[in-house]
Amino acid sequence: MPSHLLAPRTTIELKEVGGLGSVDSKYVVIMPSRDEARFIAGALQSLVNQTIPPILCVVVDDGSTDQTADIAEEFSRRHAWIRVVRRPDRGGRAVGGGVVEAFYAGYGRLEIDDYQFICKMDADVTLGPRYFETAMRRMAEDERLGGVSGKVFNPVGNGEKEERIIDEMVSGALNFWRRACWEQVGGYVREVMWDGIIVHRARMFGWKTRSYRDEDLRIVHHRLMGSSHKSVLHGRLRWGRGQWFMGTHPVYILASGVFRFRERPYVIGGLLIIAGYYAAALTGAKRYDDLAFRSHLRSWQLKRLGLGFLAPTPPEATSV
């Protein structure tokens, strides 16, 4: 891609973080989208407003039946670093693996190789102007920090409700990765729970992942995570099935479901997560076929529950 079509190259001066000098701040954003006409303008404007914009943003319209692609193309006419890829309508929204397929349709169209960070961003989130500058500053402070996000908030009535995410995890709504980490772990699996799997695989290889409570890293997610395109109840069942696929320990899913009692839909949502998991188990549903990963995952989960003495010793990770 001709260099004049990319956003200007910049570096972050980091005098205030211990003489680190500067860090290469070139990053790319891939934005899978389907029927997001209500929100995509806000998401793209968030990128335009960044103190350090991406050198390239590829919006993948995954067969929208509304004006999503038209809105994105209007932005691309005004900002040469925004590209739009249109995919045919496959007849409905494909959650989980479908999102990753759309992501890779954009990844295959990057046509550049000179970047240090890669971001998967939902088309229904909005960010403050210092989001990516702040994320890169965090990574500059710790070279083993491979994946970063902020905390996520859903608009509710006249206020906001925080989506619960533990500090060691990264939001699925906006994944920001050091490229070296992303490539070492093999990117995203094309299955449900792709966002959880990449975080745990990163830790297998010795990387750190983190979501920060920082006003500059605040993510406003205009649709409740895990709520599904059908209903929030369906989404919670799917979440439980996804936890089974990923390899979550049966004790951990009980604790996780109870933890989610405090979220909408209260109590029933957590019960449906548990029910989805055990229904998948009873029917012998497919699982992520990486025994080393599942061992690492379960060891981490048991330690989180204070049951580390029951945790197996996971094997060493091997690069993809």
Per-residue pLDDT tens over the stretch 137-192: 999 999 999 999 999 999 988 889 998 899 999 999 999 999 999 999 999 999 88
Task: List the single range of 42-51, 171-180, 223-232, 303-312 with lowest mean pLDDT.
Answer: 223-232
Q: Tell me, what's the pLDDT at 15? A: 37
Residue 247 near residue 297, CB atoms below 8 Å: yes
The larger pLDDT score, comparing residue 82 to residue 15, is at: 82
Q: Domains of the chain: which residue ranges? A: 3-221, 232-310
Condensed to tens digits (0 to 9), the pLDDT of residues 46-56 reads 999 999 999 99
Q: Tell me, what's the pLDDT at 230? A: 64
Task: List the single range of 80-84, 87-91, 161-165 with lowest mean pLDDT.
Answer: 87-91
Residue 7 has pLDDT above 90, yes or no: no
Q: Tell me, what's the pLDDT at 238? A: 92
Q: Mapped to the 3 state alphabet, what secondary structure does the chain carry?
A: CCHHHCCCCCEEECHHHCCCCEEECCEEEEEEECCCCCCHHHHHHHHHCCCCCCCEEEEEEECCCCCHHHHHHHHHHHCCCEEEEEECCCCCCCCCHHHHHHHHHHHCCCCCCCCCEEEEECCCEEECCCHHHHHHHHHHHCCCEEEEEECEEEEECCEEEEECCCCCCCCCCEEEEEHHHHHHCCCCCCCCCHHHHHHHHHHHCCCEEEEECCHHHCEEECCCCCCCCCCHHHHHHHHHHHHHHHCCCHHHHHHHHHHHHHCCCCCHHHHHHHHHHHHHHHCCCCCCCCHHHHHHHHHHHHHHCCCHHHCCCCCCCCCC
Q: Tell me, what's the pLDDT at 83? A: 98
Condensed to tens digits (0 to 9), the pLDDT of residues 115-131 reads 999 999 999 999 999 99
Residue 255 has pLDDT above 70, yes or no: yes
Please report which confidence band the pLDDT of residue 16 belongs to, taking 50, 70 and 90 as the band edges: very low
CATH 3.90.550.10 fits 3-221, yes or no: yes
The larger pLDDT score, comparing residue 285 to residue 91, is at: 285
Please report which confidence band the pLDDT of residue 290 belongs to, taking 50, 70 and 90 as the band edges: very high
Span 110-116, mean pLDDT?
A: 94
Residue 23 has pLDDT above 80, yes or no: no
Mean per-residue pLDDT of the chain: 89
Please report which confidence band the pLDDT of residue 320 belongs to, taking 50, 70 and 90 as the band edges: low
Residues 181, 117: Cα–Cα separation, whole Å: 9
Residues 182, 31: Cα–Cα separation, whole Å: 17
Task: List the single range of 20-29, 33-42, 120-129, 236-245 with lowest mean pLDDT.
Answer: 20-29
Residue 248 has pLDDT above 90, yes or no: yes
List all residues 6 or more positions away from 46 whose beta carbon is below 8 Å from its beta carbon: 125, 126, 127, 128, 129, 131
Task: List the single range of 52-56, 66-70, 152-156, 222-226 with lowest mean pLDDT.
Answer: 222-226
Q: Tell me, what's the pLDDT at 19? A: 36
Specify the residue for token string 């299955």: 191
